[in-house]
Structure 1
Amino acid sequence: MGGARQPCGAELMSNLQAQYQRDGYVICNGLVGDVTVQALRDEAVAIACGQRGIVDGVVQRDNADEAALKNVLAIHFPHKISPLMREMLSHPAIVKVLTQLVGPDVKCMQSMLFVKNAGKPGQAWHQDETFIPTTDRSLIGVWIALDDATIANGCLWIKPGSHAQGRLWPMLPCDDPRFDGSPEAVGWEAEFGGHEGGIAAEVPAGSVVFFNGFTLHRSLDNRRPCGYRRALVNHYMSARSELPWSFGTSKFAPDDYRDIVLVAGTDPFAERGLEDLARPYLRPETRKP
């Protein structure tokens, strides 16, 4: 892993920032405990059954049934209806790392619950800053493994160092059946080793991958005959900067998105208040059969 893997929950993180700046990501093993991981798995079932509130695209069920997960690729903004998912935004061990990499003032704007049942697709190479733009390049993804993530079940893949230029690559349609139909970043292949390859972030459940908003990453389809590759992915940035994200109907758009959760430090724009803009929804799949 090129020195980018750290037992962050058990030792000082003096070199964490240097690794993150060099590679565009860092992996922290054992950051989330087994009890919490299992609680998040159980909560995923409740959310997928519509028992925590309305999720656009999800059919409500009377009972919590894991079978409801089979047709779910991802649910966006689960923290809007799940107290546990919202609590995870401020998980102390995760916030400790975030303040090393982004802090001291950190805010969260998005959560995503990935389920990826056997046979479900991944997402082609992309950079998160394409979708959530920041003015200070502080966007960071926090990818929490709820199952052991392996190459076979569709773990995260990363192109180390691809963040360094702060360049956003153009996006084009992608019809590769391994992926969910989302656009793919192109034009970077000669510089960073082509479409295949990269670092496979094979991690045990409870591990957390932190990656820069400009870092090229993807995941492949779950090729296992059965089982899930569940992950909770939250996005954060420095609270010292505005967020020009035109998501929802904000009175501050396009300058500052205010449906955020402050997880560390202070919010210099607190006088603007908060807005309730995002609603949970099931991510659609547009891949060709």
Structure 2
Amino acid sequence: MSTMETAPTLENRRTVPRILSDEQVAFFVENGYLVLERLVTDTEVEELRRDTAHLARGGYPCENLQPLPAELTDDEALRRILCIHQPHFISPVIEKYVKHEKICGALSQITAAHLPFWDGSVKCMQSMLFVKPPTFQGQAWHQDEIYIPTRDRSLIGAWIALDDATIENGCLWVIPGSHKAGYLYPQRKHDEAEEYDFAPQSYGFDESLAVPVEVPVGSVVFFNGYLLHKSLKNRSEVYRRVLVSHYMNAWSLLPWSVKDGESVATADRRNVIPVAGADPYAWKGYDNPPSNVWLRTCKATEELKRTDEPSE
């Protein structure tokens, strides 16, 4: 067998602590989500909050987040941002929390717990830093697997609350068990621009089964990529800051896109970070991420821009 085809060995595994009970793993498999309250310490939360402001102020070299004037307050810097996509591309602090030992320990137990031969290996492909100031919209019903396809239904989000998440400030809502069929619901445009951002909404299910996921700061919510979930507009006077990263079974290919001459069956994007166990495809190497991020705006963002424009 060639070097490229050599299976990973125990020597190149990244070990992480196993922190979940069998009951917690079973709850996740059955319901599609799991809450671990205050898994992230107050000190860690404060570090992430500081880095959120640093990112918003253009503190890292980045085309889409240019440096802001020193006299601008952190609040003024933050109040325009709904979400920063892929902040770990430019922030070593965010990358550190993508690899957070306890979070990755839980991931190594639940990411692909539905697969009988899974060895606990996990990789990360995305981070999203939601700022969600007061009046900013949420996102309508959707399933993350629509946007990040996996080969084995192992997509999972790890959602770190940097503020208390409440109904008033736009916490997550989920439909427990909606992941089990492995069905991707159709999507359509919505007509609720005051409530939700531009993303389409999934439909064709019983919304009355939804439950809010209110959690204290420092909690981590794990949810399967097929789980139906949404968030509502922030109707409070405080931010609802969240760092959510997406992971999957390291043994699954990541067909996020298909390049010219590439087969759908073998498409596998390599801009990933192994966070637990081994990466069986490490022989392929890894793509270098761009030194940039992408910003998600919403109606509230555009309204703020208009109010700052000089009048004639």
Give yes or no for TM over 0.5. yes
Matched, 1:280 2:288: no
Deviations 1:69-98 (A, max 9, x none): 001000000001110100101101101100
Cα RMSD for the two superposed structures: 2.3
Change (3 A) 1:187 1:172: same
Deviation at 1:252, TM superposition (A): 6.7
Select the residue among 32, 38, 46 that pairs with 2:46. Answer: 38
Equivalenced residue count is: 273
Matched, 1:145 2:157: no
| C-alpha distance in 2 between matches for 1:61 and 1:251 | 43
Change (3 A) 1:91 1:253: farther
Select the residue among 101, 109, 124 that pairs with 1:92. Answer: 101
Select the residue among 84, 87, 91 that pairs with 1:75. Answer: 84
| C-alpha distance in 1 between matches for 2:103 and 2:143 | 21
Q: Partner of 1:199 in structure 2?
A: 211
Deviations 1:184-219 (A, max 9, x none): 00112xxxx32x561111001100000000000000
Task: Give matches, 1:116-127, under 5 Å.
Answer: 116-127=132-143
| C-alpha distance in 2 between matches for 1:74 and 1:47 | 11
Partner AA of 1:61 in structure 2: L
Structure 1 runs not aligned, ≥5 long: 1-8
| C-alpha distance in 2 between matches for 1:178 and 1:143 | 21
Deviation at 1:13, TM superposition (A): 1.7
Partner AA of 2:176 in structure 1: P
Q: Which has the larger radius of gyration?
A: 2
Contact 1:16-1:100 within 8 A present in 2 as well: no
Contact 2:158-2:244 within 8 A present in 1 as well: yes
| C-alpha distance in 1 between matches for 2:29 and 2:188 | 28
| C-alpha distance in 1 between matches for 2:196 and 2:79 | 17
Change (3 A) 1:265 1:10: closer
Q: TM-score, normalised by structure 1?
A: 0.88
Deviation at 1:227, TM superposition (A): 1.8
Select the residue among 181, 193, 197 that pairs with 1:165. Answer: 181
Q: Partner of 1:6 in structure 2?
A: none
Select the residue among 180, 183, 195 that pairs with 2:200. Answer: 183
Contact 2:89-2:289 within 8 A present in 1 as well: no
Partner AA of 2:196 in structure 1: F
| C-alpha distance in 1 between matches for 2:253 and 2:213 | 31
Partner AA of 1:235 in structure 2: H
Partner AA of 2:173 in structure 1: W
Deviations 1:9-51 (A, max 9, x none): 9975221221011101010011100000011001000001110
Contact 1:108-1:263 within 8 A present in 2 as well: yes
Select the residue among 153, 157, 171 that pairs with 1:155. Answer: 171
Partner AA of 2:195 in structure 1: R
Corresponding residue SS for 1:237: strand
Select the residue among 51, 72, 94 that pairs with 2:59. Answer: 51
Contact 1:250-1:277 within 8 A present in 2 as well: no
| C-alpha distance in 2 between matches for 1:125 and 1:205 | 24
Q: Partner of 1:230 in structure 2?
A: 241
| C-alpha distance in 1 between matches for 2:252 and 2:41 | 32
Contact 2:20-2:106 within 8 A present in 1 as well: no
Contact 1:50-1:60 within 8 A present in 2 as well: yes
Change (3 A) 1:37 1:158: same
Change (3 A) 1:81 1:252: farther
Q: Partner of 1:4 in structure 2?
A: none
Change (3 A) 1:55 1:283: farther
Partner AA of 2:61 in structure 1: G
More displaced stretch, 179-188 vs 210-219: 179-188
Partner AA of 2:126 in structure 1: Q
Corresponding residue SS for 2:55: helix
Question: Identity, % of aligned pairs?
Answer: 45
| C-alpha distance in 2 between matches for 1:205 and 1:53 | 29
Deviation at 1:253, TM superposition (A): 7.8
Q: Partner of 2:275 in structure 1?
A: 263
Contact 1:125-1:184 within 8 A present in 2 as well: yes
| C-alpha distance in 2 between matches for 1:101 and 1:12 | 9
Contact 2:172-2:214 within 8 A present in 1 as well: yes
Contact 1:115-1:229 within 8 A present in 2 as well: yes
| C-alpha distance in 2 between matches for 1:277 and 1:96 | 25
Corresponding residue SS for 2:79: helix
Q: Partner of 2:226 in structure 1?
A: 214
Deviation at 1:175, TM superposition (A): 2.3
Q: Partner of 2:7 in structure 1?
A: none
Corresponding residue SS for 1:113: strand
